[in-house]
Structure 1
């Protein structure tokens, strides 16, 4: 795109001035030797242990970098895996998994409406 620049060597790309750094390729992307060069305002850790604990502490105490831990960043994948597990074990579709929940929700809603009408009319519906 217009105004884009080549970054050589590519390993220096993560140390450029940016809003969000997402070290996702490999663990220990940042380490004691290079964490001082990180200029990002946010770091969203996606790879396992992309930022080691000592460097995480360094970036946080610097005061201008917020780190979003991999546990938060990867929680969507864990949620999807939760739904995949029963599907893979029982060969059930997602619709089958949600059917009982929707049926129970509708029954509770109907019961709530019946109770409200009964109270307002002072008689059992």
Structure 2
């Protein structure tokens, strides 16, 4: 079961991701437990289209929600260090700012990945 804080945060995060071109995934549950993936976005690279996924994790024991991303490049998740943690008493504006921080870092690391960087530099 998820907290009201998680559900309220998820709405803000999904809206912000949608504003930045991310496709929002349907909420899926395993029993009462939500599955964490909430959005995906395709990126053109020199080796073809690659998919990035955003997860929202309810760390209810710590009263924290975490935004986590995954984008594989050369067998490495280049978004592994882009995690953002949102405390339970955060305002809607603070949550929105956390999403902005995540997206800034995610876009940077995706664009710096090897095949994406080649695509952006040479267009293939």
Same fold (TM over 0.5): no
Determine which structure has greater relative contact order: mean sequence separation of CA pairs < 8 Å that are 6+ residues apart, divided by chain length.
2
Which structure: larger Rg?
Answer: 1
TM class by shorter chain equals under 0.3
TM-score by length of 2: 0.23
More strand by share: 2
